[in-house]
Amino acid sequence: MIKYLKDQYLAVIITVIWIFFTLNNQNKNDILIEKTRKLESDILILEEKAKESTKIIDSLSKIDTVIVNRIKTIKQKEYVQIRIIDSLPISQLQSYFTDRYKEE
């Protein structure tokens, strides 16, 4: 057996080196697989956060529409009041403002 190893020392060295590199690469592969799993879980978490953010943004756009509609309503009421005041003759305007802003 020892004579065989002496005769085949190059083959034994190459085999040992090959086994070493195979085990080393397997270890690196395991580490990379673990990193991949962690990144995949991080991706799922980020996708969930993105869905929540999208829901918040959508709700804000709905609120924005409600606010714009309220502003339009207020402007319409203001316009109606301005038209009413503009249609009053001067004497009625004087009495309107005199009654409204009495000096105390």
Percent of the chain with pLDDT over 70: 96
pLDDT of residue 95: 82
Range of the domain at 6: 2-100
Position 1 pLDDT exceeds 70: no
| Chain CA centroid to CA 38, Å | 21
Considering only CA atoms, give the Rg of the chain.
Answer: 42
pLDDT tens digits for range 54-104 = 888 888 878 888 888 899 999 998 888 888 878 878 888 788 778 777 766
Who contacts 12 (Cβ-Cβ below 8 Å, separation ≥6)? Answer: 5
H/E stretch holding 64: helix 9-87
The domain total for the chain is: 1
Kindly report whether the global pTM for this prediction surpasses the value 0.85. Answer: no
Between 32 and 88, name the one with better pLDDT: 32
